[in-house]
Amino acid sequence: MHHRNLLSTVRACLLIAPLVLGLSCTLEAKSIGKDQVNIRSNPSTKSKILFSAPLGYPISIEKESKDWVFFTDWQNNKGWVYKPLVSKINTVVILVEKANVRSQPTVKSKALAIAEMGEIYKILSKSGNWVKLGYYHGGSEVGWIRDDLVFGE
């Protein structure tokens, strides 16, 4: 009888754990605050460098450990970055090969420019499922793009 109760409890915990972890694991969008920042395999300057990220590179922070943050990027790469190198400026990266950037947050509005995969823009504002893009430096407005075409917002 004791064995059955224990097994039921373990099963219940296994079923509930993903729900609880999902609720407590909130991803926070941020960006890299300096150019060519080393992204590491572990939260230490002695750990392996996985890649270097450019200024404005959008990240989704999954967890923090002292002065380090662990994140996922737009290509599902994961790594650690030193917390003082993370900016609160929200940015996005274009996910598709080419996307129209429009004058208004609607597909019927005029296309002002074409954004290409991997380009990084600053988020100026949001409206429904649209994001208003600006250049990272200076923040000059570029136009509107659907949020399903970008990562980082």
Give residue-wise pLDDT tens across range 62-99: 999 999 999 999 999 999 999 999 999 999 999 999 99
Give residue-wise pLDDT tens across range 27-57: 688 999 999 999 999 999 999 999 999 999 9
Q: Provide CB contacts within 8 A for 107, sequence distance 6+.
A: 146
Identify whether 75 is part of a domain.
yes
Residue 118 sits in the same domain as residue 139: yes
pTM over 0.85: no
Task: Tell the burial category of 129 from Cβ atoms under 10 Å away from its Cβ (0-12, 13-18, 19+).
Answer: exposed
pLDDT at 3 over 70: no
Residue 20 in tokens = 């609880």
Identify whether 5 is part of a domain.
no
Nearest one of 153, 146, 140 to 89, comparing CA atoms: 153
Of 41, 58, 87, which residue sits at a domain end? 87
Measured between alpha carbons, how far is residue 54 from residues 26, 58, 135 in Å?
24, 9, 14
The total of structural domains in the chain comes to 2
DSSP classification of residue 2: H
Identify whether 104 is part of a domain.
yes
pLDDT at 12 over 60: no
The β-bridge relationship of strands 150-151 and 91-94 is: antiparallel
Identify whether 20 is part of a domain.
no
Residue 144 lies in domain: 91-151
Identify whether 15 is part of a domain.
no
> How far apart are the C-alpha atoms of 113 and 79, rounded to whole Å?
33
Whichever domain contains 73, its CATH number is 2.30.30.40
Give residue-wise pLDDT tens across range 110-119: 999 999 999 9
Of 87, 102, 119, which residue sits at a domain end? 87
